[in-house]
Amino acid sequence: MPAETLRNARKNKADEFYTQLSDIEAELKHYKEQLRGKVIFCNCDDPYESNFFKYFAINFNALGLKKLIATCYDTSPIAYTQLSLFGDEKTTPNKNRHAYKIEIAEVGDYNGDGAVDLSDIEWLLKNKKNTLSLLKGNGDFRSEECVELLKEADIVVTNPPFSLFREYVAQLVEYGKKFLIIGNKNAITYKEIFALIQAQKLWLGYRNINADMWFIVPENYAYEKVVGGQKVKHIMGCWFTNLDTTKRHEVLLLYKKYSPEEFPKYDNYDAIEVGKTSDIPYDYDGVMGVPITFLDKYNPEQFEILGLDDHRVSWRGRGPDLNGKTLYRRIIIQRRK
């Protein structure tokens, strides 16, 4: 794999989206017990810029982590411009940066102020040998040294480049890793990702799938507003994970009664159209098509996923036809008896 692949993918796809700390905190609070005693790897995160690293470093002791590892690739358009590990002071960009890793196995109140905060992390990086070290390669998550770190990790948590999402998830599955990552909502319909969802090897996190996310973007990107002095853009993002959630075991209460008039059949497939997840009829045992937002309420003990519309009823990129009109993507499901 060429050394420039990751950088070019991000550059050409306008792929640099950085997660706000508030979004990380809102999701990670649900997994505290699953994180305890684990080695956490953030393998797409420059520690000096990443809010993922910031979250885990500050909460290292509260979460009871065993180790925190973070790696970055050697260049980044956001480098030293927006996020700062050590306060708001900006650092002059270093165009000759090298990829590096940070490994933390303990965090203490080094400055004696009675609390563990970023100033203690700064002291740790400056004074503890081998905490920060250069990587031999470019820091690509597929590089040999990053794969070796992946093997050591228990759980991977990060926001990987959206344009490489299929390959990124495939690597996590190959090495049998637990993960909690952010991806574009449209990734649900990728053949490789949907197959994992159908096989119950991947599902959505706690954040509502309809609550799209605001990501921090580099200076040269188009943005929609400024939040806390940072330029942000609205992206259809959601959390993907294979960590168990209480959410996926909740029974969806059904109240609608089936009628052929309210739930017509598709023109090109023997299934009824259910336009809203909340409208799934309680008394219909046949095959149904539902929006992809159904996954936000999907309980595998209550419903079986039979496929995605382009696998069963139409061609890639299109949904089923209803009364001569092509609908958006549909997930084909059936209630379990």
Q: Is 230 helix (H, G, I), strand (E, B) or coil?
A: strand
pLDDT, position 315: 41
The full set of domain ranges for the chain reads 5-246, 250-335
- Output the pLDDT for position 334: 97
Q: Are 256 and 44 in contact (CB under 8 A)?
A: no
pLDDT computed for residue 7 by the predictor: 46
* pLDDT value, residue 13: 54
pLDDT at position 83 is 37
For residue 96, the model assigns a pLDDT of 53
Q: What is the pLDDT of residue 311?
A: 45
* b/e sequence 196-207, b meaning 16+ C-beta within 10 Å: bbbeeebbbbbb
Tens of pLDDT, residue by residue over 81-92, are 333 454 444 443
User: pTM for the whole thing?
Assistant: 0.87
Question: Which of the residues in the chain have pLDDT under 70?
Answer: 1-15, 74-97, 310-319
- Taking each continuous run of H as one helix and of E as one strand, the counts in the chain are 10, 17
DSSP 59: T
